[in-house]
Amino acid sequence: MSLLEIKNLTVEFQTASGPFRAVDGVSLKVDEGEVLAIVGESGSGKSVSMLAAMGLLPWTAKVTADVLTFNGRDMQSMSDSDRRKIIGKDIAMIFQEPIASLNPCFTVGFQIEEVLRIHTDLSRKARRDRAIELFQSVGIPNPEERLGHFPHQMSGGQCQRVMIATALACNPKLLIADEPTTALDVTIQKQILDLLMKLQAEHGMGLIIITHDMGVVAETADRVIVQYKGRQIESADVLSLFESPKSVYTKALLSALPENAVGGRLPTITEKLTDTEIFAGAVR
């Protein structure tokens, strides 16, 4: 039994000019201890499909799927309160902009202890001890003092560490990292990725990394899903994807890496391929 299983997920948003399909027929599976990367350009529906799985989309979104289960439990037929018992506890998520993702009006200590208060029976003292322990595990120095700090008193990298610590507070079975390094400096990106991989290995949890950075994919993932304009174009293990990509889009995506630039001009995908060619060449 897979940890998270999604079959034929579709997300439509009601807009003033009619329904807009942001995700169209996406299917995926993640097992415990597995790292899955979802890659694609901006607007390919990577984040929306994961937000849909967690039930975090606004009411204007219409989510349908043939199968949407977590640990064997059907997430679609589940009540909102039952879903809230799972998200934040068994499925946790971290986001792209760590500073904006933390509430500026509350200390980071309050924000990490809040998850423990909602999902565990720990006492006040035990929650604080656990928060200190989590801060230590994600490499935040002086954790006791840092718990009393507000997000604006910390750097972007530190805030992402706080987000990771918060996500790991209840030992989740699955962590979804939505472009966790995009807003960070290159050196900090490396540190955060290393930290995520170390914690994933230690906890044995499933990890879904949403990214548009092929370097991140190569370094972290076991399997990869490539998306384009809401549709799944290719799904493969990481080695086969990099060595012998099957779909024309994935080939174009890999050849568009900056190191393949010729004569100072960066290669692009859209000047080579039309949408019809991309969708016709999809290998699922």
Partner 1 sequence: MLRFIVGRLAVLIPTFLGVSLIAFSFIRLLPGDPVMLMSGERVMSPERHTELMQQLGLDRPMYIQYFDYLTGLLTGDFGSSIVTKRPVLDDFLQLFPATLELSLCAIIVAIALGIPAGVLAAVKRGTWLDQSLMGVALVGYSMPIFWWGLLLIIFFSGYLGWTPVSGRISLMYFFPQVTGFMLIDSLISGQAGAFKSAVSYLILPTVVLATIPLAVIARQTRSAMLEVLGEDYVRTARAKGLSPFRVIGVHALRNAMIPVITTIGLQVGVLLAGAILTETIFSWPGIGKWMVDSVFKRDYAVVQGGLMLIAAVIMIVNLVVDLLYGWINPRIRH
Judged by CB under 8 A, the stretch of 33-41, 95-103, 207-215, 262-270 that binds partner 1 is: 95-103
What SS3 class is residue 144? helix
Contact (CB, 8 A) for 177 and 184: no
**Which residues contact residue 156 at a Cβ distance below 8 angstroms, ignoring those fewer than 6 apart?**
98, 99, 183, 184, 185, 188
Q: Tell me the H-state helices in the chain.
A: 46-54, 80-86, 98-101, 108-119, 124-137, 143-146, 156-168, 186-203, 214-220, 238-243, 248-255, 275-280
Is residue 73 a contact residue for partner 1 (CB under 8 A)? no
| Residue selected from 19, 43, 74, 100 as contacting partner 1 according to rule CB under 8 A | 100
Q: Which is nearer to partner 1, 153 or 240 (CB)?
A: 153
Q: Which is nearer to partner 1, 41 or 97 (CB)?
A: 97
Q: Which is nearer to partner 1, 91 or 193 (CB)?
A: 91
Is residue 108 a contact residue for partner 1 (CB under 8 A)? no
Is residue 16 a contact residue for partner 1 (CB under 8 A)? no
Is residue 262 a contact residue for partner 1 (CB under 8 A)? no
Judged by CB under 8 A, the stretch of 66-74, 79-87, 204-212, 271-279 that binds partner 1 is: 79-87
| Residue selected from 31, 114, 213, 222 as contacting partner 1 according to rule CB under 8 A | 114
Residue identified by tokens 């897979």 is 2
* Burial (CB count <10 Å: 0-12, 13-18, 19+), residue 178: buried
Rounded least distance, CB 17 to partner 1, Å? 16
Rounded least distance, CB 142 to partner 1, Å? 17
Q: In whole angstroms, give the CA distance from residue 37 to residue 207.
A: 8
CA neighbor of 176 nearest in space, from 2, 1, 51: 51
What SS3 class is residue 270? coil
Q: Which is nearer to partner 1, 169 or 236 (CB)?
A: 169
Is residue 85 a contact residue for partner 1 (CB under 8 A)? yes
Contact (CB, 8 A) for 162 and 150: no
CA neighbor of 108 nearest in space, from 144, 81, 71: 144
Is residue 103 a contact residue for partner 1 (CB under 8 A)? yes
Q: Which is nearer to partner 1, 97 or 222 (CB)?
A: 97
Q: In whole angstroms, give the CA distance from residue 219 to residue 173.
A: 21
Rounded least distance, CB 131 to partner 1, Å? 14
Q: Which is nearer to partner 1, 53 or 216 (CB)?
A: 53
| Residue selected from 6, 75, 86, 210 as contacting partner 1 according to rule CB under 8 A | 86
| Residue selected from 70, 95, 135, 228 as contacting partner 1 according to rule CB under 8 A | 95
Is residue 163 a contact residue for partner 1 (CB under 8 A)? yes
Q: In whole angstroms, give the CA distance from residue 157 to residue 192.
A: 7
Q: In whole angstroms, give the CA distance from residue 65 to residue 4.
A: 13
Instruction: Give contact residues for partner 1 (rule: CB under 8 A).
Output: 54, 56, 81, 84-89, 92-93, 95, 97, 100-107, 114-115, 118-119, 150, 152-153, 163, 166
